[in-house]
Amino acid sequence: MPVIHIQPKPFFEDKSRAFWNLQTLGWLGAFILRALSSIANGQPAVFLVPVFISTVSGYSLTLLMGVGYRYLLSQRPLITWTTSILVTFVAAMASAFIDAWVFTTLNPMIEAPGVKLFLGAFYLTFTLLAAWSALYYAINFFLTVEEQQDQLQRLELQASSAQLAMLRYQLNPHFLFNTLNSISTLVLLKQTERANAMLSRLSAFLRYTLINEPTAQVSLEQEVETLKLYLDIEKMRFEDRLRPAFIIDPAVAKARLPSLLLQPLVENSIKYAVTPLEEGADITISAHPVGENVRIIVSDTGPGLQDGQVREHLSTGVGLANIRDRLAQAYGERQSMDVRSTPEGGFSVIIEMPFVLEEQPKVAA
């Protein structure tokens, strides 16, 4: 038997419906309280009639007050509060006059001072209408603040998405320049077959990467496939000097991460480890689960950091800061990135991020 999931809707999603619900329930509650109070004080059942009429008049007057308050919400605070107090005072006088008239009409045998009866009804009615007015403005203030927060959140997410797109787009032109430069060299050397093969692989790589939105997240196995396409291109340049290896735990193959996050790290290793060494270097990309996180390591067997050398600028020119920014935009504080090197050589970039199996919303930095 299929299970029907009922998604609760926010109470104030439909403001008009929420107003009528609160208006009806509020005045119904006021009527019940006054009726119970009258019964507890030993009043006859006929006394419920003026209580009912008073409730109806209060209900109707507050509808008119709400129309005026809706206009006053857009005015300056001094005008809003001054006019609201005046409106509440006038409405309370009108309701008190109705209550006093109804009471004297239904109880002609009871001699009660008119002014005293009017003031008593005015005090009670003014208290109710003032409370209604305060609640009306409080709810509208809450809704205004909530709308502003929602709008601010939407703007932050838009800014975050725009920054993510900018960071991603920084990768493509630099990588394309380097690859086309290699193809140009092959053409000048009249190695047309190799140049054609590199163009075909470059086309496949670009087609693969352009399928995804710049702010999209992909699975780790998709990222690995992209890296293999990229490394196929670089193998045309370095042949046996470039020795890549992938050690991916199947348990994290479906983990999500920003697309093309690892490619500049591999390109970094090619520039600083493979290029300067005649024998080339090994580049290892590994990934495995660590608690609720995924740890990804991109390491090489190159010279590492020597004589104050820094790798803060990747071969694409966008820098390790690009990777850090993309991680921060995607996961906020739930990620880390560490760079390590030993005196004996070798360089590693260690990334830890949440182990998630579906694309996460961007976190505004």
DSSP designation for 239 = G
107-116, 130-139, 145-154, 176-185 — which is least confidently predicted?
Answer: 107-116
pLDDT of residue 357: 84
Paired with 338 in beta bridges are: 350
117-121, 245-249, 271-275 — which is least confidently predicted?
Answer: 117-121
Residue-wise pLDDT tens digits, 188-202 = 888 888 888 888 888
Q: What is the pTM of this model?
A: 0.53
Average pLDDT estimate for 302-306: 76
pLDDT of residue 35: 83
pLDDT of residue 86: 92
Q: Are 324 and 337 in contact (CB under 8 A)?
A: yes
d(CA 254, CA 301): 28
List the one residue out of 13, 92, 164 whose CA is nearest residue 21: 13
d(CA 179, CA 199): 9
pLDDT of residue 173: 62
Phi, psi of 51 (to 5 degrees): -65, -40
Instruction: Indicate the pairing of strand 242-248 with strand 281-290.
Output: parallel
d(CA 305, CA 303): 6
16-25, 91-100, 199-208 — which is least confidently predicted?
Answer: 199-208
By CB atoms closer than 10 A (0-12, 13-18, 19+), residue 301 is: buried
Q: Which residue has the higher pLDDT, 12 or 230?
A: 230
Average pLDDT estimate for 38-45: 75
Q: How confident is the model at residue 364 (pLDDT cuts 50, 70, 90)?
A: very low
Q: How confident is the model at residue 12 (pLDDT cuts 50, 70, 90)?
A: low
Q: Which residue has the higher pLDDT, 348 or 263?
A: 348
Q: Are 338 and 349 in contact (CB under 8 A)?
A: yes
Q: How confident is the model at residue 3 (pLDDT cuts 50, 70, 90)?
A: very low
DSSP designation for 9 = P
DSSP designation for 76 = -
By CB atoms closer than 10 A (0-12, 13-18, 19+), residue 292 is: exposed
Out of 170-179, 186-195, 349-358, the most confident range is 349-358
Q: How confident is the model at residue 315 (pLDDT cuts 50, 70, 90)?
A: very low
17-21, 129-133, 275-279 — which is least confidently predicted?
Answer: 17-21
pLDDT of residue 95: 87
Q: Are 289 and 355 in contact (CB under 8 A)?
A: yes
pLDDT of residue 122: 86
Q: Are 50 and 38 in contact (CB under 8 A)?
A: no
3 state SS of 180? helix
Structure tokens at 190: 């009249």
Residue 295 CB-half CA count within 13 A? 10
pLDDT of residue 166: 56
146-155, 210-219, 254-263 — which is least confidently predicted?
Answer: 210-219
3 state SS of 357? coil
Question: Which conformational region is residue 248 in: left (phi greater than 0), alpha (psi within -120 to 50 degrees), or beta?
Answer: beta
pLDDT of residue 329: 79
- For the domain made up of 172-354, the CATH class stated in words is alpha beta
- Beta strands of the chain (E only): which ranges? 217-219, 242-248, 256-258, 281-290, 293-300, 336-341, 347-354
Checking if the pLDDT of 320 tops 90, the result is no
pLDDT of residue 314: 46
pLDDT of residue 245: 94
Checking if the pLDDT of 165 tops 60, the result is no
Q: How confident is the model at residue 247 (pLDDT cuts 50, 70, 90)?
A: very high
